[in-house]
Structure 1
Amino acid sequence: MQFAACAGTVAFLPYMAMKLVWATGGTFAGIFGEEMLAMSERNGASGIRLTLESWGLDGTVLPAALGILLLWALVRPWGQVLPRWTLWLRGRRVPRPLLLTPALTGAATLAPYGLLGVGYAALSTAGVVTMRRGDFHSSSDALLVAWIGMAAFAVHGVALVVAARSYRLRTSSTRPGAVCHSPAERSPCSPRP
C-alpha cells in the first residue's frame, strides 16, 4: 500500500511546484505569477486566496499537502495509533472516520475528475478535440497545465481508493488479529457493541 502513497505523492509534486512558481511570481507555461493572480481575481477567487497568493502562497498547495499527509496516514502505523511525538495524544487510537471520511470523499471527487480530465487531455494531445486556451497564451500551454493538474488528481484519487480500502480492512474490528491499540502490542480489537 505504500506504493499507492508514493504514487499519489509523486503525482502531486509537479502540480504543487507549478502553483508555487506562479505564487512566488515566476513563469510557467507562458504565464507570469502576476498574470495568474489577475486571472484568479477576474475569475472570482476569494479575498483569502488572493491575499495568500499576493504573499507567495497558493491556496491549492495546502490542500494538496494535506491530501498527501492523509494518504500516508492511511498506510502508516501512525494513522492507526498516534505516535509519541504527538505529546498528550500519543498512543491513542485514531478514529476510523477521521481518516476514512476525507479519504473516501477525496477519492469520489478527485478520481473521476482527474480520470475524465486525463482522457480529455489525451484526446486533445491526439488531435481528436481541441484544447481551448482559456486564459493561457496558447492551447499547448493550456494542455501542459491540464496534463499536470489532471494527472495529479487522477493518480492521487486512485491512490486514495487503494489506501482507504487497505486502511478499512486493516482497522476492521471483525478482522481476526486486527490491531487497535499499539502496533507493538499486536492485540486483537475487542468487538464493537
Structure 2
Amino acid sequence: MTEQGKFAKGVVAQGFVAHSFVAHSFVAVGGGVLVLVALVCAITGALSPMANPSDFFASSLTLLPQAAANLVLALIGAVTTATGLVTARRGSAPAPLRVASIGGLLVLLGPGVLAAVGYLPFLLVSALAGDVAPLRNYLSPALVLQLVVVALVVTLLLSWIEQAVRADRGETSNRGLWWTWIAIAVPLVYTVSRVLMAIGIPDLSMENSSGAAGLGLGAAAAGGAVLTWGLIRPWGERFPRWMIGLAGKRVPVRMAVVPALCAAVLVLAGSRMLLSQMLADNPGIPNNVVVWLPIWLWPLWSFALVAAAMHYRLRRARAEVAIAR
C-alpha cells in the first residue's frame, strides 16, 4: 500500500477510534444503570419502572412477575455492559455478544417512546399556550429509561456501522441503495393510507380525532421519507444553496446517520403498539388492506433505515478516502 493509501486509511481509523472511546464508555455505563435499577428495585421491593403496568411508558416486562422482570433487566444490563467493555478493550466485540445486547435492549423498548417523541412538539406548543398538564407525563421514570435504551441501541448500531467502515474493502453493491428506496417507499405508503382515512374514503373512515392524529403521523412519515431520500441525493452530502451560511459545506456524517438510526429504533418500538392493536382486532381500526398493510411493513421500514444509514456511511467514508488520496 502506498503512503497516500495508508494516510487515507488512517483518516477513517482515527475517526473510528475517537468514536469508539466515547461510545463504548456510554454503552458500559448505560448497561450498568440498568443493572443498578434492577438491583435497587429487587432489594427495596419497589415496583420496577420498566415493569409498571400503570405506566404507559413501561416495557414488555410488565408481562412478567416483578422478580423475573428485575432479573431480566439485570441480565440485559450486564450483557450490554460486557459488550461495551469488551469492545473498548479489543476494538470489537464478538457478533453474538453484540446481537444479544441489541436484542435484549429491544425487548426493553416500549411502544410509548415513539408517541412521546412524536407528540412532544405539539405538547410544547400547547404548553406555551398555557396547557402544561400533558407534559407532566414526561416525568415518568420509565420514559427516562426508555430514552436511555434508545440511545444505547443507536450507539451500538452506530459502533457496528463504524466497524464495518473500518473493515470496508471498497466493494460496490446495490443492496444498500435498494434498502434506501424501501426505507423511502414504506413511509409514503403509510402516508397515503392515512390521507385516505382522513378524507373519509368509504370503508376507510375513522372518527375525527383518530383521523386527525393519523394524518399528523402520515405527514411525519412523509417528512421522514424526504429526509431518507437525502441519504442518496447530493444535498444529503453538501448543504443546498438556499441554506445561508451552510451552502456548499459538507454535511457532517453523523448529522445524517444518527437521526436515521434513531428513527429506525423508534419505528420498531412503535410497530409493537400498532401491530398489537391490529392483532387485537381494535374496532377503531378499519379492517382494510389499505390500513393494515402499511402497519405490517413498519418492521421492514426499521430494518431498511438501518441498512440505508450504513450504505450512506460507507459511501461517505469511501469519498473521504478518495479525497485524502
TM-score bin, normalised by smaller chain = 0.5 to 0.7
- Confirm whether residue 178 of structure 1 aligns to residue 320 of structure 2: yes
Asked whether the 8 Å contact 1:136–1:142 carries over to 2, the reply is no
Asked whether the 8 Å contact 1:115–1:150 carries over to 2, the reply is no
Task: Report the equivalent of 1:188.
Answer: 324
Distance change >3 Å, CA 106–CA 83, structure 1 → 2? same
Give, in whole Å, the separation in 2 of the partners of 1:73 and 1:109. Answer: 20
Give, in whole Å, the separation in 2 of the partners of 1:24 and 1:101. Answer: 35
Task: Report the equivalent of 1:77.
Answer: 234
**CA offset at residue 149 of structure 1?**
1.4
Task: Report the equivalent of 2:282.
Answer: 134
Letter of the 1:12 counterpart: P
Task: Report the equivalent of 1:3.
Answer: 178
**CA offset at residue 98 of structure 1?**
1.9
Structure 2: runs of 5+ lacking an equivalent: 1-175
In the TM superposition, what whole-angstrom CA distance separates every residue of 1:9-66 from its partner, at most 9, and x where no partner exists? 2222331111111222333xx3424x2x24x3xxxxxxxxx8xx39xx8111221012
- What are the residue-to-residue correspondences of 1:128-167 with 2, within 5 Å? 131-136=279-284, 141=287, 145-151=291-297, 153-167=298-312
**TM-score under structure 1 length normalisation:** 0.61
Task: Report the equivalent of 1:127.
Answer: none
Task: Report the equivalent of 1:45.
Answer: none
Letter of the 2:221 counterpart: A
- Confirm whether residue 102 of structure 1 aligns to residue 259 of structure 2: yes
Letter of the 2:197 counterpart: W
Asked whether the 8 Å contact 2:239–2:251 carries over to 1, the reply is yes
Letter of the 2:295 counterpart: G
**Match among 61, 77, 90 for residue 218 of structure 2:** 61
Asked whether the 8 Å contact 1:80–1:94 carries over to 2, the reply is yes
Runs of 4+, deviation exceeding 6 Å: 115-118
Distance change >3 Å, CA 135–CA 160, structure 1 → 2? same
Task: Report the equivalent of 1:18.
Answer: 193
Distance change >3 Å, CA 155–CA 60, structure 1 → 2? same
Structure scoring higher RCO (CA < 8 A, sep ≥ 6) equals: 1
**CA offset at residue 143 of structure 1?**
7.2
- What are the residue-to-residue correspondences of 1:24-35 with 2, within 5 Å? 24-27=199-202, 30-33=203-206, 35=207
Give, in whole Å, the separation in 1 of the partners of 2:217 and 2:272. Answer: 19
RMSD: 3.5
**CA offset at residue 136 of structure 1?**
4.0
Distance change >3 Å, CA 142–CA 136, structure 1 → 2? farther
- Secondary structure of the corresponding residue to residue 60 of structure 1: helix
Asked whether the 8 Å contact 2:187–2:224 carries over to 1, the reply is no
Distance change >3 Å, CA 142–CA 94, structure 1 → 2? same
Structure 1: runs of 5+ lacking an equivalent: 41-49, 125-130, 180-185
Asked whether the 8 Å contact 2:182–2:304 carries over to 1, the reply is yes
Give, in whole Å, the separation in 2 of the partners of 1:77 and 1:11. Answer: 22
* Max Rg structure: 2
Distance change >3 Å, CA 188–CA 76, structure 1 → 2? farther
